[in-house]
Every structure is written in structure tokens, then in C-alpha cells.
Amino acid sequence: MTTTPILILSGKGKTGRRVAAQLEVRGVPFRLASRSSEQRFDWYDESTWSATIAGADTAYLAPPVGPTGLAQAGRFIQQAAAEGLRRVVLLSGRGVGSPGRDFAVYDGSLDLEHAVQASGADWTIVQPAWFAQGFSEDFLRYHVLAGEIRLSAGTGAEAWIDTNDVGDVMTAALLDEAYTGQVIAISGPRPLTMAEVADALSTATGRPITYAELEPEKHVGELVEQGLTQEDAEAVRDLFAVIRNHRSEYVSDGVQQVLGRPPRDFADWARETATTGVWAV
């Protein structure tokens, strides 16, 4: 295990702050890197990279969404390894490199995995399913508040994972070099369709929440109206296309393998999350 502070890139994101919390509990030093950190870091401003890398031995890399951001992350890891980074744990996506994912966002994720593997640094790649916290900490929260989940996921299912489980797996990978050279796929305990997700959220909130199936291009249009760039909206559409095409209807056992316990079920997560008031209207 490294004795220098672990660098957490995108340290204020859904996974980065959970990794930071776990390291803090264990008394492991870490350093956050973001646009608002003391040492400013910006994926799209390469002049901020060298100062961020300086002195880092091990890093947790959670890349930005979209093909352009993924390409930037690939360039960053190559520079970081050349400037002394010894080890990296990468947040990727479940199914990257598998058939049926012929979309730019998946190609970008695969290219990033290859860049990490070819960087010369020791690496671990963790591939999680979609985050349950997308419904409480990201744009899907507004769908829950509105009582209608509007997505182009069709009737396909996804094995949604609690981001706290992701953070626990990432922390284990950062602290135990036995995971070096491994690709670890993780998911929740069962696939759920969007209609089943809506039912679970209805039960948790005590309000009716429905699923409205959108055509993919209508989905892109609504995402752009909500403030996403065209590129990022198309990337989200393509991620949901994998669900729509029934390519995510399986369970990955990485949580059990790494942590020795089962992952948390979506319905249990939703019930507890509802008590925080995040969906109060």
C-alpha cells in the first residue's frame, strides 16, 4: 500500500467522495482533485495536470462522461504515468468491450481502459453497473420528484448497484495491491426493468411513480432541453440503448468476491434513501 496521499480524481463526484470517506475512516491520507480543490484540476485544462500529478504514487480515476472527456482521461493517465504515477484504479463501466455496445461512449471507455493498461502504471479496472444513486444524486432525481421516469430504456433490465458498494470495492482495490492487473465487474443482486424500478420507488416514497418509455431521439432532445450538450445527451442515450437492447440482464459478482458480502438490493436502498427526504415534494 502507498505511504503517500492517494490522489482522488473527480474527488467530489458520486464515487470519489465515497472513496474519500472510506479512506478517512481508515486513517489513509488522500488528496482530492477537482475544479474547486486547493490545487485546481480540470480534465479539459491540461495546464492543471502536472501540478496535480506531482508527488502522487496511487490514484483513483473517475473519468468525465462522454467521448471527449474519456479521451482526455486517456491522455491524462499517459502523462501521469510518465511523470511518476505508479498505480491507478479506474472507474469504467460494466460490459465495456462486450458485444452489442457499438457506441462512441463504449468505444471511448474501451480506449481509456486500453490507455490505462498500456500506461506503464500498475492498474485495476472496476466496471460497475448503473448507479442506484442516479435516482437520488443525479438527473434521474428530478424524474422521481416529477413522478415520471422518462428514459429510452425500453423493457430491458439493469442490475442497479448502490454507489456505496462501488466505493467500498474501489477502496479495497486501492489499498490491496493483490487486485493489480484485474478487471472487476460489479452489480446489484438482481436486474430490474425501469417499470420495476418505478414500482420500487413508488413503494419507497409512498407516491405513484411511473415509467414513460421514450424513443431514443426524443430522449436526446429532452436531455438537451435539460442542459446537457448534444454529445453528452447522445452518450446517455447510447448507455440506455444497451439496457433497451437487453444486454444488461445479468448479475456480476465482484462485490461478493472483493468484500465477502452480497451487494445491496435496489428496493432496500430506495426505502432507506426515502427517509433522508431527498424525494420530498
Distance between terminal CA atoms of the chain? 46
Is the pLDDT at 102 greater than 90? The verdict is no
CA separation for the pair 15, 138 (Å, rounded): 12
Neighbours of 159 (CB within 10 A): 22
Is the pLDDT at 2 greater than 60? The verdict is no
- Confidence label for 219 from pLDDT (cuts 50, 70 and 90): very high
What is the helix (H) or strand (E) element at residue 137, kind and residue range? helix 134-137
pLDDT tens, position by position, 258-277 = 999 999 999 999 999 999 99
* Residue that wins the pLDDT comparison between 73 and 98: 73
Q: What is the mean pLDDT of residues 242-255?
A: 95
Q: What is the mean pLDDT of residues 120-133?
A: 97
pLDDT tens, position by position, 134-175 = 999 988 999 999 999 999 999 999 999 999 999 999 999 999
Is the pLDDT at 90 greater than 90? The verdict is yes
- pTM of structure: 0.94
pLDDT tens, position by position, 36-51 = 888 899 999 999 999 9
Asked whether the beta carbons of 198 and 205 are under 8 A apart, the reply is no
